[in-house]
Structure formats: structure tokens, C-alpha cells
Amino acid sequence: MKRIVGAMLFGLGVLLVVAAVGLPLYVAPAVSQLPYDLERSESVAESANAEFLQIKAGAANVERGGLRSTVEVVPQPKITDEKMTGDLEGKTVVWDVFQSVRRIDNNEIISEYSTQLAIDRVSGAAAKWDPAWLEDGTDQPANYAGQVYKFPFGTEKKDYPVYDREIRKTVPAQFKEVTEVRGVQAYRFEQTVPEAQLVLAESNLKLLLARFAPEATTARLMYTNTRSFWVEPVTGSYVDVRDQPRKVLVPDVGQPTVLLNADFRYNEATVIASAERAADNAASIQLVRLWGPITLGVLGLLAIVGGAWLAMRGAGRRAAVEPVEEERAGSHRADEDGKDAEPEAPTADAPTVEAPSADSTERTVPDQRSSAERPAAR
């Protein structure tokens, strides 16, 4: 019985070891990428005391107050299935993204944009896809590249190119430190966008010059930004973001005018939701990548060792029992008093005796009658 149990335990151990090897090799890569059916998500960042340009009824003014930026990511599984072909098939997903910036006090819209792009499922970077578009009122091609809305699965402590929508190109985000956000380990990256001139539509230029530099004939719209990203490294998800854009109108005549000076950062609800979601997803990935294989491997080795031990013990016990049984059956009998009987002396084989025939039986059997009853001899 022990041999059977041992063999079964040994086989179970082998299966557990195979599973331990298979989890990180086959299962982990499958869960360490963006799913096709990812749920839509929303992040909200706020700037408490911002300077911003507001155009209403054809009039431009620089206002001061609180702003709220809302970014909504809407995955498009149907478009992904239909349009992600060739080298993109199975490797990318299509997202629609919408952003609006509104005043906190009266909810009036200040700016907005919408876009559709392809995202690499593993690196999180924008994939080269010609149908990608970006509508923000400038009519410029998107030229998507680098990280846009997330970092790679398995983010490393190194610099990453991060796309800036205003200048339509990437700027390195430098790794700064390892920290924690709401109990979740995060890598902090910092991106500094150097001063650059933005494209300004002719109609908007005339409107701004008429309001802020009436003596000027032209002007440049200068832009700079400093961003900080707190990234959960296993999933590459943002758990916190800080965005500090600044735009200045610089006319050829007259003083510069600040059109935007804000300090956006995820609000508390967004940080909590982002941290919880990142922690849950990271735990699932770590389970199949690290803890699952370790647990299965240890259990498998214990089962193999235990099964082998039981099997060998069962075989040894059986080998020891069989000679004892043979000895008891052939040469070790007990007498009626419970004492060991002397072994019987060996005897020679009895000679073979042929069975007597009927005639010989009659000749050899003595006559049992009395002498008086016997007939007289002749």
C-alpha cells in the first residue's frame, strides 16, 4: 500500500514542479500585457490656483481660479480586432482618449481634446499606426511615439521617452527615486520639457494680439512643462501624476502675457483608485510570476521526496517479510507445548513399490478360517 501511495505522491510532485516551471514561462507573459477587454478608466487632476486663458463670446481674458482636468480612456476592442493586422495583430490595442479642462467654480470648459491611437500591449508605448489621429484645434499630425498613458509592464529604474502632446514629440522622463503612494511601491520619474514655440492659428493670434499687445504685429506662443510620474513598476500604471504647464505669449512689441500657469495633480479619489487598482493587478502578476512558482516548486519537491521515501520503505519492508515467511513454513515448527520441535532427520527416498496385481493379492492374503473349517489336504 505504501508503495502505491508513494508512487502517487511522486507523480503529483512531478506535476507540481512542471506547473512551477510553466507559470513564469507561459502564464506570466499572458497576464503581463494589456487585455483586449480592458474597462474604461477616468483620472482627475486639479490645480487650485491657476492662471488660464478663457475665450468667451469672442473675448479673450486671463482668469485666475481652480481648474479640473479629466482624462477618460476608452478601449476599443472591436476596432482592435478589425484594424490591428499584420505586425500589429495580437501586439497592440486601440484606445480612444478624451480630455477636458474645466473651471471648478462654474464648470465652464477651458480646453479639450480627443484622440485615437494604438498602444503596445507590453511596453505601453504608442505603436506606429497611420490611422491614429489627434484633434486639439491645431490640425497637426499626432506623430505618436514613446510612453503616452502608461509605462511598460516591468518598469525599470531608467529613463523613458514620454510623449508631449503640445510639441508632438517625446522628451525623456528621468528616473528619480523609489517611493510609496498609498502603501504601493512606486518609481518616480520627472520630465522637463524645454521651452518650445507652439503653433498658433492665425485667427487666434489676431485675437490675442488685439487683447494683450495691440501695438504688436506678431507674437510667439512659448511653452514649457515639468511633469512627475509615480509609476507602479510591475504594471507600469500611474498611481499619481503632477503636471505643471506654462504658456506665455511673447509679442514683438510689448510685454509678455502669461496665458497658462497651472499645477495639476491627481485628486485624492483618483490616487486611491489608481493605487488600489495597480496593487491588485501587480499582486495577480506576482502570483503567477514569483510566488506561485515558488510555492508549487517547494510543494512539488516535498511530494517527490516523500513519495520516493514511502515507495522505498514499502519495497524494503516487503523484501524483509518474504524470507521470514519462508523460514516459518519450512523449518521452524512449534510442538504442542509451545516449544520448538527438533527438526526431523532427513530420510532416504522410499523404494518404489509396484501395485500388486489381483492374482498376487489372492496368493498373499492368509486364510482366516480355522483348521477345522479348512478342507483336508489332498
Q: What is the mean pLDDT of each run of 10 residues along the chain (378 residues)?
A: 65 64 60 89 97 94 98 97 95 98 97 97 97 91 96 98 98 98 98 97 92 96 99 97 98 97 98 96 78 63 66 59 53 48 46 43 43 44
Domain ranges of the chain: 32-266
Q: What is the pLDDT of residue 139?
A: 81
This prediction's pTM: 0.74
Q: What is the pLDDT of residue 304?
A: 67
Q: What is the pLDDT of residue 201?
A: 87
Q: What is the pLDDT of residue 291?
A: 55
Distance CA 33, CA 236 (A): 10
